[in-house]
Structure 1
Amino acid sequence: MFSDLSKSPLSKNLQRLFWLRNIAILAQCLTFSLVYTIIDLDIPWTEMIIVVILLSALNLLTWIRLYQNWPVSNIEFFAQLLIDVFALSALLYFSGGSTNPFISLYLLPLTIAAAALPWRYTWVMAIITIGCYTLLLFNYVPLPHDHSKHLIEFNLHVSGMWLAFVLSTVIIAWFVVKMSISIRERDHDLALAREHALRNEQIIALGTLAAGAAHELGTPLSTMAVITGELQKDHINDSEFQNNIRILRDQIAHCKQTLTQLLAKAGQTRVEGGTQLPVDEFIFSLLEKWKLIRPTVQFTYKSDGPLPSPKIMDNQLVSQSILNLLNNAADASSKCIEIKSKWDQKNLHLEIIDDGEGLSDAVTQRAGEAFFTTKAPGQGFGIGLFLANANIERLGGSVHLFNLEDGGACTQVTLPIIG
């Protein structure tokens, strides 16, 4: 109903106070009607009705304010509570003061202040309500006393005390429960924010180390290229040696090309955010690249989705993230990997199924943490799944790992479709 600003705790509390005030205004009007028709008391009706009209007008301004795009401060919320305290004090002053059974309603703004505001505001509210109650002990418009209606007035007084207690109990319980829910939601949001900040720090650290490693690898790769070239010239007549050297030189060239593309794609990602490709072309090019990296891995691929296929964002981060997941499945698989893709107009769903031993409970709980790996020392660093999770979630996607009933594990990737 209100603006997105209502997501802040104080804005939510101001909304609740707005609705509570509406309920209070309706209850006051109903009480006035019952007292006027049943008892026919001669009290300052005009003044009391004016107080209710003013309170309604102020609540209308509160309703307009909730649509405004600025945050609710502690002082503003405290001022809203003071409006209710002074309105209640005015109504009690014209209707018996401290002898009015609804005097206990002073506890409501005090409880709300204690639940929603810092302790300083709570103590100020306590002093104000105590002061108002004390003044009403000596200064008020007394209710007219009629001996013929004494029993009816007494019964209504007791009923009013019961009603005031019920209202106070219900409203306090409702508001405090809502407040506790808001506090839990806020704590959950803060925990997520801290987790994301920590993950971003780890990603920045990994990026810094990767940049340094790429810079340092350039020189030894160039040295190896020169030495393999010299060896190739020195052993021209040895065919087997020439074949091995050619494979080695191809691998060195691939490493140098990967480093060059890494830096170029990183710059493109920062400036443009990547390119757009149809989903089927994106997956096909990705699998072609993976076959060059892991030529010995056996896999099957099935796709399902409407044609022409929608487009998806293709950048180095997404491609590398999925390649990391494919490599993890290849390392865990014993024979063959099954790859399935399915897309619609909103999301691409990619499943990578291996026939390995599956995931243990400990691995399932810690999968995706930085530097956590089940591979032997020197065979993995525990950053592939971590970076894949971070990159895909940053683009609005998700990664889920789970065991299959028939054995093996499934990595399920969801990526948003651009159009």
Structure 2
Amino acid sequence: MFSDLSQSPLSKNLHRLFLLRNIAIFAQCLTFTIVYWSIDIVIPWLPMIFVVVLLAVINLLTWIRLHRKWPVSHLEFFFQLLIDVLALSTLLYFSGGSTNPFISLFLLPLTIAAATLPWRYTWIMAIITIACYTLLLFVYIPLPHEHSNHLIEFALHVSGMWLAFVLSTVIIAWFVVRMSSSIRDRDRDLAKAREHALRNEQIIALGTLAAGAAHELGTPLSTMAVVTGELQQEYTHDAEFQSNIHILRDQIAHCKQTLTHLLAKAGQTRAEHGSELAVDEFLRQILDKWKLIRPAVKFTYQSTGTQPIPRIMDNQLLNQSILNLLNNAADASSECIEISSHWDNQLLHLEIIDDGKGLSAEALQRAGEAFFSSKAPGQGFGIGLFLANANIERFGGSVRLFNLESGGACTQVVLPLIGSAT
């Protein structure tokens, strides 16, 4: 009903105060009914009923106000609490003042103010409640005693004190628990925002370093290409050497092509340069490229899915992220990698299973953090999985790593799809 309340903690608190006031109005009406029909006592019914009706009207206006998108200020919330204090003081004035066992209900607005408002409002509320309590010590309409039995009167007073304590305890506990939950939700949202901001800063830093490294590596690769070409022409009669130098030249050419492609894609956005591709073709292109990068890796691939085949965003960052995950599995695997994919009209589910030793407890907890790597020194920098996580989450997907009972680790990737391919 109050969908906009999630934007403002004070709006949530005003909604809770609205609910508490409803409970208070119901309890007051119930108390009036019990006293009127079961206890022979004469009290100023008309002004007390008028106070409750006025409080109900104010709460109705509060309900209407909660449907508006106006922000709730500390001052407005303080005045809402002040209305409850004045209403309670008026009811107590007509029903025995400080001798009324419900006098302890003054603690409720004070507790709520302390839990929700800045300290200055809390101290003002404390001064007001103390002043009202003190005034009710001397100025009030006493309850009639002439026809009442002292034992009955004492029992009713004790019962009223017990009921006031129960109400205060339940309401305070409920409100404080909900407040603590709101604070924890806010802290969790702030922590997520800080984490995303830190991740964005790290990605920008890595992108800047990668662009600089790509420019710097261009000259050494060109030199290596020239030198290997001269060596290939010089030792034409050595077959084994020619085979090795051919592999080396292919790897150099692949590195140059990768750097050229990287620089060409630098600064391009997903919306400008992202095309759509059938999901089976998308995966086939990634695996074909991976076979060129890691020709020695053995793997099996199975795919299932709905027909017609849906499309997915074909983006270089997304392709590279999946390649990073495949390379991590290849580094951990000892013999063969099992790759499987399944899609429906909305999601692609990709699983990469290696037969390695599995992930350590620290790796399971910190996997995806920047510059954390479970590999031996010199074998990894800990940025592949970090960038893969960041990019896949940017495209609306998720990455999950866990160990298998049979051994090895599984990387699960979920990516959103666009629709059916034509």
Same fold (TM over 0.5): yes
Tell me if 1:89 matches 2:89.
Answer: yes
Contact between 1:346 and 1:417, CA under 8 Å: does it hold in 2?
yes
Q: TM-score, normalised by structure 2?
A: 0.92
CA contact (8 A) 1:351 1:411 kept: yes
Aligned to 1:282: 282
One-letter amino acid matched to 1:354: D
* 1:314-393 alignment, distance < 5 Å: 314-393=314-393
* Counterpart code for 2:403: N
Q: Matched residues in 1 for 2:221 and 2:70: separation?
A: 58
Contact kept? 2:355, 2:408, Cα under 8 Å? yes
SS at match of 1:267: coil
- Would you say 1:41 and 2:73 are equivalent positions? no
Calculate percent identity across the aligned residue pairs: 79
User: Which digits, 9 at most, give the CA deviation of each residue in 1:13-49, with x for residues without a partner?
Assistant: 2222111110000011111112222235333322222
Cα drift, residue 186 of structure 1: 2.4
Q: 1:273 to 1:131 in 2, by over 3 A?
A: farther
Q: Distance in 1 between matches of 2:243 and 2:38?
A: 109
Aligned to 1:213: 213
Identify if the C-alpha distance between structure 1 residues 190 and 86 changes in structure 2 by more than 3 Å, giving closer, same or farther: same
Q: CA deviation at 1:51?
A: 1.4
Tell me the amino acid that sits aligned with residue 197 of structure 2.
A
Separation in structure 2 between the aligned mates of residue 262 and residue 226 of structure 1, nearest angstrom: 22
**Residues 282-337 of structure 1: CA distance to partner in whole angstroms, max 9, x if unpaired?**
11111111111111211110011111122222212211111001011111112111
1:13, 1:410 → 2: CA distance?
Answer: 44
Distance 2:38 2:238 in 1: 117
Q: Distance between the aligned counterparts of 1:261 and 1:132, measured in 2? A: 77
Matched-pair contact (CA < 8 Å) for 1:269–1:315: no
Structure 1 residues 378-387 or 354-363, which shifts more? Answer: 354-363
Structure 1 window deviating more from structure 2 (190-199 vs 74-83): it is 190-199
Equivalent in the alignment of 1:312: 312
- State the TM-score, normalizing by the size of structure 1: 0.92
- Residue 62 of structure 2 corresponds to 62
Tell me, which stretches of 5 or more residues in structure 1 are unaligned? none
Q: How many residues align?
A: 419
- Give 1:167 deviation, angstroms: 0.8
Alpha-carbon distance in 2 for matches of 1:394, 1:289: 23
SS in 1 for 2:401: strand
**Cross-structure match for 1:251:** 251
Q: Is the alpha carbon distance of 1:142 and 1:9 closer, same or farther for their aligned partners in structure 2, counting shifts above 3 Å?
A: same
Rounded Cα–Cα distance in structure 1 between residues aligned with 2:272 and 2:144 = 80
Q: Structure 2 regions of 5+ residues with no counterpart?
A: none
Partner of residue 303, structure 2:
303
- 2:187 aligned partner: 187
Shift of residue 231, structure 1, vs aligned partner: 4.8
- Cα distance in 2 for partners of 1:61, 1:415 equals 47
- What is the CA-CA distance between 1:146 and the residue it aligns to? 2.9
- The amino acid across from 1:174 in the alignment is W
Please tell me whether the aligned partners of residues 270 and 315 of structure 2 are also in contact (alpha carbons under 8 angstroms). no
State the AA in 2 paired with 1:162: W
**Which SS does the other structure have where 2:269 is aligned?**
helix
Describe the SS at the equivalent of 2:341.
strand
| Aligned residue in 2 for 1:15 | 15
2:406 corresponds to 1:406: yes
Aligned residue identity for 1:60: L
Give the direction of change, closer, same or farther, for the CA distance of 1:105–1:282 in structure 2 (3 Å limit). same
Mapped to 2, the partners of 1:148 and 1:192 lie a distance apart of 64
Code of the residue aligned with 1:161 in structure 2: it is M
Deviation at 1:251, TM superposition (A): 2.6
SS in 2 for 1:142: coil
CA drift at 1:341? 0.6
**Separation in 2, partners of 1:211, 1:71:** 45
Question: Take 1:160 and 1:351, find their aligned partners in 2: how far apart are those partners?
Answer: 65
2:76 counterpart residue number: 76
Q: Deviations over 1:193-218 (max 9, x none)?
A: 22222222222221111111112122
Q: Is the 8 A contact 1:3 1:66 kept in 2?
A: no
What is the correspondence of 1:104-253 to structure 2 with a 5 Å cutoff?
104-148=104-148, 152-231=152-231, 243-253=243-253
Deviation at 1:58, TM superposition (A): 1.5
Question: 1: CA distance between counterparts of 2:260 and 2:94?
Answer: 84
